[in-house]
Amino acid sequence: MDYLDNLETIIKINSYTKNKIGVDKVGEVFDKWFIELGFEVNLYERELIGNHRHYLSKYEKGKKRLLILGHLDTVFPPQKFEEYSEDSEWIYGPGVCDMKGGNIVALQALRELQKSNIDIKNIDILFVSDEETGSDDSKYLTAKLAKNYDYCFVYEAAGSKMEVVTARKGVGTFLMDITGKASHAGNHYADGNDANLEASYKLQELVKLTDLDKGTTVNVGKIEGGIGANTISPNASLVFEIRYKLSSEKTRVLDSIKKIVNNSYVDGTKSNLRGGIQRDVMQCSQNSLDLIQDIKIITNTTLNYEERGGVSDANVVSSCGVVTLDGFGPYGDGDHTIHERANKKSFELRIELSKKLFTYFVNYFEFKQEI
């Protein structure tokens, strides 16, 4: 399987998000492969992170357009986890399932079209370079480009039963700075305004916003504050995130956070909030469910689907109104750890599925129709 040789090539190139040289090197390897398939490379150069890459196929005006979405970056710095290995069932290495493996699935499926003398049209690919750190740069580019497409397939890892993903929670990350007044804890206890105490009240109020029945969570993941045991704390900070399944919950939680920031539980303290929504919610839509039914008919395959609490760039495209399905990559586990692996058989299954879908699309340029 030549595509596994391709996978090994890019796995062995460290593409930690902050390693611009490595991320760009992986991108340049993909450039070569996609150019061989007739794609045009449109480069979005960046100074501090890897360049984003948009691969364009032939465009037939008036037809539906499909975007394949992936990312080039991984999570481990150089020399931390760079090994590639395999056995009879699994492939091991950084990015094998998240998501260099998924990128290879899409590439190989398109190669299968070329081998069958099928002209690739109206299927474009976007590979971004900063997904693992929240797509803080690329999400604006992704949203801008997404408006040109009718469908989007994202090649993050499949579920354990080869599920695709119809919904992902939205996520926001925040830092709350709290200012109080320092004083000697022994001699002038009453003269201070305790920022740490204020932080403790605010933490409890934030966590109360969690509503598990609606899929909403608020997690205060980091607390800092104070100088020492003998000093009333003059400052504190809370780092927290929100995750939500419903847009209405986003509104509720954001409004409540604003009230918590503006309310002082300890006299003399003040608070300031930084941060915001990183990726908005990907809600399951009837269009997505209809597309899954079409895929079952087109491929003669029962396609399982699921919702996930984690986020991806599918959130960005879906928020633009594009019919989006995620999880078209291989099945794997251990992502973001040194035990990351991907199942070999799942590569074959996903390549075959994608080949059938791409073949159908370039023949009809539409998934929703009488089949």
Averaged confidence pLDDT in the chain: 96
| Beta bridge partners of residue 69, listed in sequence order | 126, 154
Residue 370 lies in a domain: no
In this prediction, residue 369 carries a pLDDT of 52
In this prediction, residue 371 carries a pLDDT of 44
In this prediction, residue 119 carries a pLDDT of 96
Q: What CATH number has the domain bearing residue 43?
A: 3.40.630.10
Q: Which domain holds residue 218?
A: 170-278
Residues 164, 288, single domain; the answer is: yes
In this prediction, residue 286 carries a pLDDT of 95
Residues 266, 127, single domain; the answer is: no
Q: What CATH number has the domain bearing residue 204?
A: 3.30.70.360
Residues 230, 256, single domain; the answer is: yes
Count: domains in the chain = 2
DSSP letter, residue 181: B
Residues 12, 69, single domain; the answer is: yes
Residues 304, 238, single domain; the answer is: no
Nearest CA-CA partner of 225 in 258, 251, 249, 201: 201
Burial per residue of 111-143, b for 16 or more beta-carbon CB atoms within 10 angstroms, e otherwise: bbbeeeeeebbbbbbbbbbbbbbebebbbebbb
Question: 258-286 pLDDT, tens per residue?
Answer: 999 999 999 999 999 999 999 999 999 99
Question: 278-315 pLDDT, tens per residue?
Answer: 999 999 999 999 999 999 999 998 899 999 999 999 99
Residues 250, 308, single domain; the answer is: no
Residue 139: which residues within 8 A CB-CB, separation 6 or more?
A: 278, 279, 313, 316
Task: Give the end of a domain, one of 217, 250, 278.
Answer: 278
Please give the model's pTM, rounded to 2 decimal places. Answer: 0.92
Residues in the chain where the model's pLDDT stays below 70: 1, 369-371
Is residue 347 a contact partner of residue 3, using CB atoms and an 8 Å limit? yes
